[in-house]
Structure 1
Amino acid sequence: MKDLGGLMKSMQQMQVKLAEAQKKMESIQAEGQAGAGMVKVTLTGEKLSGISIDKSLCDPEEVEILEDLIKAAFEDARKKAEDARKSMEGDIMGGLPLPPGFKMPF
């Protein structure tokens, strides 16, 4: 292996970038919406950090609709957070040859 030293240096740089990315991921906020914005869910990192529900949806006779809207808003926020994570991974991994299917540790 001719360039083992170069590979090791690249891996050390990658470790530093991964640690920075993990910190950034913990602070990324993603907001999902459903029902034309009547239900909003906010995720910070991978944790639920807020829910906003329009008062007009608070009808005891229509709880199922509200439940479905909360699930849809949560899924929308989760998808946005996942997209942000994948984008960040791409930025970090750019230029480093890794095997297909390699998953990041976070």
Structure 2
Amino acid sequence: MTQGQGKGFGFGLGKMKELADAFKKAQQVQEGAKKLQEELEMMEIQGEAGGGMVKVSLSGNQEPRRVEVAPEALQEGADVLSDLVLAAMKDAYNKSTATMRERMEELTSGLELPGM
């Protein structure tokens, strides 16, 4: 027998257990990510501008849902209204991005993959 044979490609039993545990954790994360995706689709995150004169609603996945414009916002003129809509969209986008990031961190917290 030559040196190095019978070692199973360098994986000892301890490494195999680590690898099996890592696969189990990865599967749990994948299942959690699917559930999170469904939750994000059901969420409604609202951004606003002009003291609430313009409100934009997005899903947690940043899918546009609704835009609400108060009658007094129309009196501000097209340029101001455009700026308010853009600001409300940015606000909703930033909130949804932060929500996604927080939820993904919760999902992957404590996940320790070997070699990472």
Which among 69, 75, 78 is matched to residue 53 of structure 1? 69
Report deviation, 1:97. Answer: 2.9
Structure 2 length normalisation: TM-score? 0.77
Sequence identity, in percent?
A: 31
1:63 to 53, 66, 78: 78
More strand per residue: 1
Tell me whether 1:40 sits opposite 2:55 in the alignment.
Answer: yes
Structure 2 gap ranges (5+)? 1-10
Q: How far is the alpha carbon of 1:78 from its aligned partner?
A: 0.6
Question: How do 1:62-81 residues align onto structure 2 when only pairs under 5 Å count?
Answer: 62-81=77-96
RMSD, matched Cα? 1.5
Question: Which protein has the larger Cα radius of gyration, Structure 1 or Structure 2?
Answer: 2
Q: Compute the TM-score of the two structures, normalised by the length of structure 1.
A: 0.84
Look up the equivalent residue of 2:23 and give its one-letter code: M
Q: Which runs of 4+ in 1 moved over 6 A?
A: none
Q: Give the counterpart letter for 1:33 in structure 2.
A: E
Q: Tell me how many residue pairs correspond in the alignment.
A: 97
- Deviations 1:14-73 (CA, angstroms, capped at 9, x unpaired): 1111111111111121101100111111112311111111111223x7200000000000
